[in-house]
A and B are shown apart, each in its own frame.
Chain A
Amino acid sequence: MASITMKDLVKAYGDTEVLHHIEGDINDGEFIVIVGPSGCGKSTLLRMVAGLETVTSGEISIGDKVVNKLEPADRDIAMVFQNYALYPHMSVRENMAYGLKIRKIAKAEIDRRVREAADILEIGQYLDRKPRQLSGGQRQRVAMGRAIVRNPQVFLFDEPLSNLDAKLRVQMRLEIRKLQQRLGVTSIYVTHDQVEAMTLGDRLMVLNGGYVEQFGTPIELYDRPATLFVAGFIGSPSMNFLPAEAKDGTLTLGNGATVSGGGHSTGAVTLGIRPEHLMHDENGPIGISVQMFEQLGANTLLHGVLEGTDTEIVASMPGHVSTGEGSVMRFSAEASVLHVFDAASGKRIEE
């Protein structure tokens, strides 16, 4: 087990810098999810920790050892790949044992560890099969088994669930979480799926365009997103953004309606309200011209525009609502769930 420290980490290909001065401390035993849209540099960051990409500048330490120059094999890590990367010509058993064999671990010990990992993952009956004879979920387990037998200080997961179908993904997500809690190994998990990120991580690092937008617990990210990007990325359906003018603790929306909030700031801001925080209220300040309803069963998503403007807005209403298309419905929101961002910088404005 070990903590991981990233200090002023930079990755550049030629003159193009793709990761900018990443800072982050990961505690021993913690499950960290790196999340962001494709191309944000999250896989590159993970691969730098693994030693598969070189470090341009800065420092990565695992435990209290700087690992910048160490070969992947010498960093005491294990990695689960998106496409599993199982050796197709080796049986499940050989796949799991390969790393141990190279490390010249005694045969009996290898057998014991493979058996143990196979029991944990319930793949004992497939040990002599080749990867191509297994289903996607089973291959996923073998890939994890290969990581477990090594008994490493750190697990690295590179979008390990994205090749599975939706139902299996949910199931495997829970299993990964349970496994990590049971083994207590420090883990870094990369995904573009914010639901996966929210449910798995002790803490989330949100990356965008090579910058860390925010690094915190899922609830922190949901309750107090530091930037517009995080606000829009975390939560589903995603947050509504309404342009507004702030003055003396009052926000004036595009159609002249006012909401209290904004603290001491003055000038152009963006008001963020999550769909689930908009409450149907006949006297509410926010009017929505309803365009259509999306029935989800437990709740209903109302799609429309802010009355008198063309700013799109979504509200989540409990139960079934199906009438009112074309009309205007009114909503309010509590001051505590309003998020105000500087329109220019996109940074959160604290009250």
Chain B
Amino acid sequence: MIENRPILNMISHAVLILGVVIVALPIWITFVAATHDPVRMTQAPIPMLPGGYFWENFTQTLFGGGLSGTESAPVWRMLLNSMMMALMISFGKIAISLLSAFAIVYFKFPFRMGFFWLIFITLMLPVEVRILPTFQVIADLGMLNSYWGLSIPLIASATATFMFRQVFLTIPDEMLESARIDGAGPLRFFWDILIPLSRTNIAALFVILFIYGWNQYLWPLLITTETDMTTIVMSIKQMLEAAEQSPQWNIIMMTALLAMIPPVFVVVAMQRLFVQGLTETDK
């Protein structure tokens, strides 16, 4: 700090605390709503302090049928679906990006640049701009209502490939030369040298991709029609619709809370990796 001005410091902290309050307020209200009984949640104004029904709401949401009076999978099943989808997307993206970046950086082969540009194209075609035809492809392949259908169309990623390409380019050439003199073939070099050297980048990317995968909404909405395949993030919308008839805000907000906890936990627990991943993939 340049100068010591206690008042300015107090203002700084005050502004930051105000910022934290604004950012945290929606979450606080969600949490509070999830700790009250349904009757209390129909009376305005809604409470601002936690009530004593957290545990009841928690068990009813997780193991009961979610909202009473609606057809839906139990919430634990949705959490499982979301987890499967998020993990398949993150591991899938990391795996295919590592492989293609390795090929593009360490091999010279005909059509290398062609492949590079083909991968680059994916950057320009988010799922939102090609929903109908992509849906048709999945339907034709019989992949509706499956984990494969949920994850595979989302695992091609130019950003991850670019990031690994960048990482590989910063690894000194002598690593490869020395490995070749040591007698390591391409796959051995990949496994013994490249993967260990990219460890933190892989972890950082995983954090980003897990959140990306977990939070997918439009895609699962399109290709899952069976309640068994619903993801937790999708279910919120269905509950909101149901809430218009019979509001059970305590259960909806508990579900929202459960849907938020895994990605929020990942971000907060792995903050350093998260920041690294974010700044690396987007630049």
Residues in A lying within 8 Å of B, measured CB to CB: 47, 50-52, 71-74, 77-79, 81-85, 87-89, 98-99, 102-103, 146
Least CB separation from B196: chain A residue? A89
Contacting residue for A89 out of B172, B182, B197, CB 8 A: B197
CB proximity to A under 8 Å, residues B156-198:
172, 174-175, 177-178, 180-184, 188, 192-193, 196-197
Tell me, in angstroms, the Cα distance from A278 to B174 when the chains sit together.
46
CB atoms of A81 and B197 under 8 A apart: no
B107 to chain A, nearest CB (A): 15
CB atoms of B181 and A87 under 8 A apart: no
CB proximity to A under 8 Å, residues B191-238:
192-193, 196-197, 199
Contacting residues, chain A, for B181 (C-beta < 8 A):
50-52, 72-73, 77-79, 99
Least CB separation from B177: chain A residue? A52
Contacting residues, chain B, for A99 (C-beta < 8 A):
181-183
Q: Other than the known A73-B181, A81-B177, A89-B197, what 5 A-B pairs have Cβ atoms closer than 8 Å?
A: A52-B181, A73-B183, A77-B181, A79-B181, A89-B193
Tell me, in angstroms, the Cα distance from A51 to B181 when the chains sit together.
9
A146 to chain B, nearest CB (A): 8
Tell me, in angstroms, the Cα distance from A172 to B206 when the chains sit together.
44
What are 18 of the A-B contact pairs (CB < 8 Å)?
A: A47-B177, A50-B181, A52-B180, A71-B180, A72-B177, A73-B181, A73-B184, A77-B181, A78-B181, A79-B181, A81-B178, A82-B174, A87-B175, A87-B178, A89-B196, A99-B183, A102-B182, A146-B178
CB atoms of B177 and A83 under 8 A apart: no
Contacting residues, chain B, for A87 (C-beta < 8 A):
175, 178, 193
Residues in B lying within 8 Å of A, measured CB to CB: 172, 174-175, 177-178, 180-184, 188, 192-193, 196-197, 199
Contacting residue for A88 out of B177, B183, B197, CB 8 A: B197
Tell me, in angstroms, the Cα distance from A84 to B177 when the chains sit together.
11
CB atoms of A102 and B188 under 8 A apart: yes
Interface centre among A51, A52, A71, A78 (most CB of B within 10 A): A52
Tell me, in angstroms, the Cα distance from A71 to B181 when the chains sit together.
8
Tell me, in angstroms, the Cα distance from A81 to B176 when the chains sit together.
12
Tell me, in angstroms, the Cα distance from A77 to B183 when the chains sit together.
11
Tell me, in angstroms, the Cα distance from A83 to B174 when the chains sit together.
8
A47 to chain B, nearest CB (A): 8
CB atoms of A72 and B193 under 8 A apart: no
Contacting residues, chain B, for A102 (C-beta < 8 A):
182-184, 188
Tell me, in angstroms, the Cα distance from A8 to B282 when the chains sit together.
51
Tell me, in angstroms, the Cα distance from A77 to B178 when the chains sit together.
11
CB atoms of A79 and B178 under 8 A apart: yes
CB atoms of A85 and B175 under 8 A apart: yes
CB atoms of A85 and B188 under 8 A apart: no
Contacting residues, chain A, for B183 (C-beta < 8 A):
73-74, 99, 102-103
CB atoms of A83 and B182 under 8 A apart: no
Tell me, in angstroms, the Cα distance from A78 to B178 when the chains sit together.
9
A287 to chain B, nearest CB (A): 53
CB atoms of B184 and A85 under 8 A apart: no
A79 to chain B, nearest CB (A): 5
Least CB separation from A82: chain B residue? B174
Contacting residue for A85 out of B178, B192, B196, B197, CB 8 A: B178
Contacting residues, chain B, for A84 (C-beta < 8 A):
174
A139 to chain B, nearest CB (A): 13
Contacting residues, chain A, for B174 (C-beta < 8 A):
81-85
Tell me, in angstroms, the Cα distance from A162 to B177 when the chains sit together.
19
Contacting residues, chain B, for A52 (C-beta < 8 A):
177, 180-181
Interface centre among A50, A83, A102 (most CB of B within 10 A): A102
Least CB separation from A74: chain B residue? B183
A31 to chain B, nearest CB (A): 20
Least CB separation from A104: chain B residue? B183
Contacting residues, chain A, for B182 (C-beta < 8 A):
73, 98-99, 102
Contacting residues, chain A, for B180 (C-beta < 8 A):
51-52, 71-73
A33 to chain B, nearest CB (A): 20
Tell me, in angstroms, the Cα distance from A47 to B173 when the chains sit together.
13
Least CB separation from A73: chain B residue? B183
Chain A to chain B: the 10 pairs with minimum beta-carbon distance, closest first? A85-B174, A73-B183, A99-B182, A85-B178, A89-B196, A102-B183, A81-B174, A72-B180, A72-B181, A52-B177
A60 to chain B, nearest CB (A): 15
Contacting residues, chain A, for B192 (C-beta < 8 A):
98
A188 to chain B, nearest CB (A): 14
Tell me, in angstroms, the Cα distance from A77 to B180 when the chains sit together.
11
Least CB separation from A89: chain B residue? B196
